[in-house]
Amino acid sequence: MSGSDTELGGRRPLVVIMSGAGISTDSGIPDYRGPNGLWRRDPEAEKLVTYTYYMADPEIRKRSWRMRRDGPALRARPNTAHEAVARLERSGTPVRVITQNVDGLHQLAGVPARKVLELHGSARSVQCTRCKARSGMEEALARVDAGDPDPACEACGGILKSATVMFGESLDPAVLGEAVAVTKACDLFIAVGTSLQVHPAAALAGLAADHGARLVIVNAEPTPYDDRADELVREPIGTALSALLDRIAAP
């Protein structure tokens, strides 16, 4: 596979990369559903990111703020897989990233923010559940460090949460709509580090195949869409994705 455009009437192929938690494990951020995933190690942790529990229980919120403060996400740095995606984008290949991750590492690696669709939001911002005002996560965590274990919105006093899509919340329809549009239009769809079990995001892999895209799945564990894939890659993501994307970027 290369960046040749001879089969596409002279245009370069549109590549969509859908990334899941597995692309960020080499950055020190654990995945959720893998053999050593967070939900398997601590089933109670799922309550911390479930909207109904979070809104109803101040103790859950306090634990959530401590998790955000002490967790690795905000300190993590892009790894070789994120850098490979950014390198492909810099090569001139049309690229869009659809990510299920909330860590912002694709942007930190150099992919322009306008080319990254964050299906599940961003852990680098907070949002008021009442007035919808947004501000930086670092600012909220500074308030936690200063002794406010459950900081409220400074504008209206409402409950603050990370600007992520919790369990029980719907995806942003505008972001999902754009993800569907680029999926239908792409020539190559690469699902990397995702179990393809969380819908509606998982269905994008099948949608790409239905619209004629070549489907490549890079994941350590089997997924429900493996039988639709043109290529399956089971090797470690850091090395496998770099090799795959460098081939695509080659003239």
- 93/91 Cα distance (integer angstroms): 6
* Digit-coded pLDDT (tens) for 101-117: 999 999 999 999 999 99
**Domains in the chain with CATH codes:** 1-29+78-120+170-251 (3.40.50.1220), 35-71+124-164 (3.30.1600.10)
pTM, two decimals, is 0.89
- 114/46 Cα distance (integer angstroms): 30
Q: Is residue 199 annotated as a catalytic residue, yes or no?
A: no
* Digit-coded pLDDT (tens) for 135-162: 999 999 999 999 999 999 999 999 999 9
Model pLDDT, residue 36: 53
Q: Indicate if the pLDDT at residue 80 is higher than 60.
A: yes
- 160/141 Cα distance (integer angstroms): 11
Q: What share of the chain is helix, strand, coil (3-state, %, to 5)?
A: 45, 20, 40
Amino acid letter, residue 227: D
Residue 167's nearest CA partner among 71, 102, 234 is: 102
Q: What percent of the chain is modeled with pLDDT above 90?
A: 78
Alpha helices in 1-57 (DSSP H): 38-41, 51-56
pLDDT confidence bin for 73, thresholds 50/70/90 = confident
Q: Indicate if the pLDDT at residue 7 is higher than 60.
A: no
Contact 191, 215 (CB under 8 A): yes
Mean pLDDT for the chain?
90
* Digit-coded pLDDT (tens) for 188-234: 999 999 999 988 999 999 999 999 999 999 999 999 999 999 999 99
Amino acid letter, residue 180: V
pLDDT, greater one: 245 or 36: 245
Q: Which two tokens stand for residue 98?
A: 């659809």
The residues, ordered by sequence, that sit 6+ positions from 13 with a Cβ below 8 Å of its Cβ are: 3, 5, 93, 94, 186, 187, 188, 248
Residue 33 DSSP SS3: coil
The single residue of 82, 106, 120, 199 carrying the catalytic annotation is: 120
Q: Indicate if the pLDDT at residue 32 is higher than 70.
A: no
Model pLDDT, residue 5: 42
* Digit-coded pLDDT (tens) for 158-169: 999 999 999 999
Q: Indicate if the pLDDT at residue 46 is higher than 60.
A: yes
pLDDT confidence bin for 9, thresholds 50/70/90 = low
pLDDT, greater one: 31 or 62: 62
Say if residue 212 is exposed, middle or buried (CB neighbours under 10 Å; 0-12, 13-18, 19+).
exposed
Cα dihedral angle (233, 235, 238, 239), rounded to 10 degrees? Answer: -100
